[in-house]
Chains A and B, each alone.
Chain A
Amino acid sequence: MNHLYHLVLAIVSTAWTTIAFADKPNKSFHVTIEIPKMNVSEYHRPYVASWIQDENRKAVANLAVWYQMKDSKEGAGTKWLPDLRQWWRRSGRSLEMPVDGVSGASRPAGKHSLSFALNDPRLADMPSGKYILFVEAAREVGGREVLEIAFEWPITKDFSTKVAGEEELGEVSLKLHPAE
């Protein structure tokens, strides 16, 4: 019973921190990624990548890569990273994994948020222009899906949009607030 109490407390406080974190005014580039619940007999958490491409389809910023990081004979799950086909082509294949501040363990079903400050070097270095936010998910014995959200940089006014996946991704949203 005591254990359960602690667990609930831990979850609530984690959730609270996440919300509080997202609300900080200097974190003005918000992405949410929903990993849908699957009713399947064999479920593995999907590999997910999120990155930004410019108009020439060049990847200019990696926001997140979630994959199986536990060590195995085959090298910490990196063997399956090319299944994130678009990300692998545009960025992954030229990276040395793990990447600080980008790679992380695969995540369970649910909504996950990513927040970045406008002066995050990955964003601050982007020349002004049109960009596309990509979110790609690939699941072992499952499928693959890519979602895109176009946006303009730098941010001049509030921007908020969302798209919905059909198979491997739920709702993906992008919210931008210009610097105060």
Chain B
Amino acid sequence: MNRYLVVTLLACLLTPVTGFAHKVWLRPSQTVLSGAEPWVTVDAAVSNDLFYFNHFPLSIENLQIVAPNGSLVEAQNQHKGKYRSVFDLPLQQRGTYRIAVVSDGVFASYEADGERRRWRGKAEDIATEIPSDATNLQVTENIMRVETFVTNGGPSTESLAPTGRGIELKPVTHPNDLYAGETAEFQLIVNGKPAADMKVAVIQGGTRYRNTQDETEVVTDADGKISITWNSPGMYWISTSTSDSDTSIPQATSRRLSYTATLEVLPQ
């Protein structure tokens, strides 16, 4: 019994961080706003069902909110609950805000004192956190971006400028200008460069009220572009991931990248 438990635990531990993907997501209360200083409130969670918080809150420690003028702004009323994290954002500027949880770190496994160990953290802490006599050290760089967009007034693009790190979505169609029955075009970039052959999952929210996930897969073309036709209005979850060996950390041999966005499609 005990041995079985140990084996199971080990199997769990060795599973890649984002292997059996529970879906991670941010869900804004609305994406198109107007008024003197409208507020949005955002749920952040990890779950199988979209967009229901029934599993785990998404940590919002690494929240990065870019205001329309390109500056970073702070979320208000941050709270981590049992199943979801929540924060509010007053939209003091007109234009589009890019709201993201970005985790940019490393995952390491190694042996020390005859035991297999795992560690997650920041690249700069590797030297202090991992014993110098560790053997079989394997370091994976891990960049995850989970984001959504909200607009006060007319959509703007300053806040959508790529950071050049990890997977990002470059708008051809503005992410807050999506309507049912229309086709949107986006470009996916990895480290700022168009990424071809990326498989992108697209799932509409409300999965609790239907029998299937109804997931569609689109693949980026040679220019990294995808087209998505929105059949009906609602919140959509799009996600993709990839791995390569283009690491920015000397100890890391491989790199795992993932990207998730929540997009609202409005009725005509």
Residues of A within 8 A of B (CB): 74-76, 78-82, 85-86, 88-89, 92-94
B34→A89 contact, CB < 8 A: no
The 5 tightest CB contacts between A and B, nearest first, are: A75-B36, A79-B35, A94-B154, A75-B35, A93-B154
Q: List 17 A-B contacts (CB under 8 A).
A: A74-B35, A74-B36, A75-B35, A78-B35, A78-B36, A79-B33, A79-B34, A79-B35, A81-B34, A82-B33, A82-B34, A86-B268, A88-B32, A88-B34, A89-B179, A93-B154, A94-B154
Residues on A with beta carbons closer than 8 Å to the beta carbon of B153: 93-94
A89-B179, A93-B154, A94-B153 in contact; A79/B38 too (CB < 8 A)? yes
Count the A-B residue pairs with Cβ separation under 8 angstroms: how many? 37
Cβ contacts B141-172/A at 8 Å (1 or 0 each): 00000000001011100000000000000000
Does B72 have its Cβ within 8 Å of any Cβ on chain A? no
Cβ contacts B241-268/A at 8 Å (1 or 0 each): 0000000000000000000000000111
Residues on B with beta carbons closer than 8 Å to the beta carbon of A94: 153-154
Distance, CA A92 to CA B155, complexed state (A): 12
Closest residue of A by beta carbon distance from B33: A82
Closest residue of A by beta carbon distance from B233: A85
Closest residue of A by beta carbon distance from B179: A89
Cβ contacts B27-39/A at 8 Å (1 or 0 each): 0000011111110
Q: Majority SS of interface residues in chain B?
A: loop
Residues on A with beta carbons closer than 8 Å to the beta carbon of B266: 85, 89
Which interface residue of B151, B153, B155, B268 has the most chain A CB atoms within 10 A? B153
Distance to closest chain B CB from A53 (angstroms): 13
A82→B268 contact, CB < 8 A: no
Distance to closest chain B CB from A129 (angstroms): 23
Distance, CA A67 to CA B266, complexed state (A): 22
Residues on A with beta carbons closer than 8 Å to the beta carbon of B32: 82, 88, 93
Distance to closest chain B CB from A83 (angstroms): 9
Per a CB cutoff under 8 Å, which of B37, B155, B177, B268 touches A75? B37
Distance, CA A78 to CA B35, complexed state (A): 5
B36→A93 contact, CB < 8 A: no
A93→B34 contact, CB < 8 A: yes
Closest residue of A by beta carbon distance from B151: A93
Which interface residue of B33, B34, B155, B267 has the most chain A CB atoms within 10 A? B34
Distance to closest chain B CB from A175 (angstroms): 28
Closest residue of B by beta carbon distance from A94: B154
Q: Which residues 177-226 of B have a CB within 8 angstroms of A?
A: 177, 179
